[in-house]
Structure 1
Amino acid sequence: MTTTTGPVLELEGVTRTFGAVTALDDVSLRVEHGELVGLLGPNGAGKTTLLSLVSGLRKADSGTVRLFGGDPRDAASRIWLGTTPQETGLPPTLTVGEVVDLVAGHYPAPMPRAEVLARFGLEDLAKRQTGGLSGGQKRRLAVALALVGRPRLVLLDEPTTGLDVEARHILWQALRDYHADGATVVLTSHYLEEIEALAERVVVVGGGRVLADDSLQAVLGLVGLRRVLLTLPASSTLDPSNLPGAHVAEVTDTADGRRWTVLAADADALVRALVHHDVPFSDLELRGASLEEAFLALTARADAGDTDPAPTGRTAGTGTTPAADRDVDRDAEEAVR
């Protein structure tokens, strides 16, 4: 039996393996009503596996998965769930409008066809057969279909893959509007600016475990890196990446010299080292790390064997087994279907 109280979805100590490979290792995660959560991680991190467990496509080897308080593999638990997997098949001979009506017929109080098409800018395609749509148009339709039944939880796996910039922004606004109406949204994405644009909470997954789980700003703060930009004369032989506190450096030749971008754990120490070396630097800028930099730093920490989970305001799993690659993930999904 499902419930409207408690978390929308919850995983407790969940492990899922494919042969000798562990995709999720003792993962715990809880999402409350009305949250908009961005799920980040490299290929094979376990993101798609996690969503497939929540949507009932797979069963955990151990641990507990709950959807609206019930078992995701029970149809009654999924009545308020909308989902778009990475790959979606559409009946090629049906029109866009007919597909919307077909999906709507499975729900007790669906959105009207006109509302669905308007939210995603699909009005002009209503009479077009889905077989004649471009890849981006099919993707927009697939995401639109996830909302037809007015779900209280929407799971979106790489929702804007194949979309151009304009179509991506249309989808972003549609998701913002739907979330503003009280829905819970969980999405994975490799477009890190998409997570920055949409998510209020970020969960970083790597190596089959949760590396970070907190607000967007808190996840950025976990990394503790600052971006230091400065210009050095072209004649300078100093490499700022060798200075105290520096991690990575990139350089670009400019008319004024060489423009360096340095990621530093201690920006103050880096600047003091520049002064100590009597380097005539100019155009100094200090900025916070971007989400992409935070993401790369967190996953690099896991790859280096740092098994201590990053401090967060939420529960995180602590496994260390490498995750399954995406090809294994997809093969297993096909087997379950």
Structure 2
Amino acid sequence: MNAIAFTGVTKTYGDVLAVDGLNLEVAAGSTVALLGPNGAGKSTSINMLLGLLQPTAGDISVFGRTPAQAVARGEVGAMLQEGTLIPELTVAETVDFVRALYPQSLPLEEILRLADLTGVAKRRADRLSGGQTQRVRFALAIAGAPRLLLLDEPTAAMDVESRRGFWDNMRAYAALGHTILFATHYLEEADENSDRVVVIARGRVVADGTAAQIKAGVAGHAASFRLGEQSVAGLDALPGATAVEILGGRVTLHTTDLDATLDALYRKTTLDIHDLQLHGADLEDAFLALTKEA
């Protein structure tokens, strides 16, 4: 069974088209990253999955039910971009209060462990760091043991260590057989933590596959090297070259034909090249190319 199915879903706000005939299926037990520029329709789609918004046209099902039915049964948990905790309550009190609202919630100790909150369980919400607050939001999202977990920019404002810890916790929850759909602007998170990447732009799917498949579908490579004080004039005229970037004394030469560009670089120039590194297209390259085309 599919955990999620969008069929011809459109959402408009007056004259603004936020989601445009979206068709998308997510298999149960998978972890899917939802990427797109600001205004692409990511948050609108997630809010429709939660029953917070109704589509203007089309159908949405969650485990074969309407979003409202799935939410009422406790099958969906969500960690949205915004949400204020009750400042006077401790972490344990907050989580225990929310888990009591669900028919089949996880034990309190397991929730705290999965969210890495055991050490701050007795701390009041108004004394938490930003990363700890995000972990509490994650704990509340999984409190009811939902089959589907929706995460909208879950690591926004987290530092590097907090982000790493969060994804460790998320992968542990996914490993229990749950379905995860997360929207993020951190493309490396999508690359490292998803089974599948869906890119949307202007409310439509413009790419769908594994991160490796999407990167492979975008032509482009780069060679980076150091030149010292030499001029880079003429490098953009080499065979296959599409752009030249200089940052911190390092030159990056983007190309559609790496072999031809490197052959000309060494045979037709007198540049003294050091520390040559070759790069394939990464997910950021693919994302920029796909959303620019859209």
TM-score by length of 1: 0.81
Which runs of no fewer than 5 residues in structure 2 stay unpaired? none
Provide the residue aligned with 2:252 in structure 1. 261
Corresponding position: 1:20 with 2:11? no
Corresponding position: 1:81 with 2:47? no
Matches within 5 A, 1:2-81: 6-74=1-69, 79-81=74-76
| 1: CA distance, partners of 2:42 / 2:206 | 12
Contact 2:49–2:60 (CA under 8 A) maintained in structure 1: yes
| 1: CA distance, partners of 2:191 / 2:37 | 17
Letter in 2 for 1:285: Q
Provide the residue aligned with 1:95 in structure 2. 90
Deviation for aligned residue 1:8: 0.3
Runs of 4+ in 1 over 4 A off after TM superposition: 75-78
| 2: CA distance, partners of 1:11 / 1:281 | 55
SS at match of 1:86: coil
SS at match of 2:260: helix
Provide the residue aligned with 1:169 in structure 2. 164
Letter in 2 for 1:290: D
| 1: CA distance, partners of 2:185 / 2:71 | 32
Contact 1:38–1:195 (CA under 8 A) maintained in structure 2: yes
Contact 2:62–2:70 (CA under 8 A) maintained in structure 1: no
Corresponding position: 1:134 with 2:129? yes
Per the alignment, do residues 237 and 137 of structure 1 end up closer, same or farther by CA in structure 2, a change over 3 Å counting? closer
Corresponding position: 1:243 with 2:238? yes
Letter in 2 for 1:280: L
Contact 1:16–1:24 (CA under 8 A) maintained in structure 2: yes
Deviation for aligned residue 1:100: 0.8
Letter in 1 for 2:286: A
| 2: CA distance, partners of 1:76 / 1:260 | 52
| 2: CA distance, partners of 1:186 / 1:66 | 14
Corresponding position: 1:144 with 2:144? no
Per the alignment, do residues 76 and 124 of structure 1 end up closer, same or farther by CA in structure 2, a change over 3 Å counting? closer
Provide the residue aligned with 2:261 in structure 1. 270
Q: 1:291 aligns with which of 245, 259, 283?
A: 283
Letter in 1 for 2:87: P
| 1: CA distance, partners of 2:48 / 2:242 | 37
Contact 1:71–1:77 (CA under 8 A) maintained in structure 2: no
Deviation for aligned residue 1:212: 0.6
Backbone CA RMSD of aligned residues? 1.9
Provide the residue aligned with 1:155 in structure 2. 150
Contact 1:72–1:78 (CA under 8 A) maintained in structure 2: no
Per the alignment, do residues 268 and 130 of structure 1 end up closer, same or farther by CA in structure 2, a change over 3 Å counting? same
TM-score by length of 2: 0.92
Provide the residue aligned with 1:320 in structure 2. none
| 2: CA distance, partners of 1:174 / 1:223 | 32
Per the alignment, do residues 78 and 290 of structure 1 end up closer, same or farther by CA in structure 2, a change over 3 Å counting? farther
Letter in 2 for 1:19: G
Contact 1:82–1:153 (CA under 8 A) maintained in structure 2: yes
Provide the residue aligned with 2:292 in structure 1. 300
Contact 1:243–1:273 (CA under 8 A) maintained in structure 2: yes
| 2: CA distance, partners of 1:177 / 1:166 | 17
Deviation for aligned residue 1:89: 2.3
Deviation for aligned residue 1:285: 2.8
Contact 2:18–2:40 (CA under 8 A) maintained in structure 1: yes
Corresponding position: 1:204 with 2:199? yes
Deviates further, 178-187 or 224-233? 224-233
SS at match of 1:173: helix
SS at match of 1:102: helix
Matches within 5 A, 1:90-129: 90-129=85-124
Contact 1:120–1:174 (CA under 8 A) maintained in structure 2: yes
Deviation for aligned residue 1:108: 2.1
Deviation string 1:86-139 (CA, Å, 9 cap, x unpaired) is 101222222211111111112222111111112222123222222332332211
| 1: CA distance, partners of 2:117 / 2:246 | 44
Contact 2:35–2:198 (CA under 8 A) maintained in structure 1: yes
Provide the residue aligned with 1:191 in structure 2. 186
| 2: CA distance, partners of 1:264 / 1:209 | 29
| 1: CA distance, partners of 2:146 / 2:71 | 13
SS at match of 1:73: helix
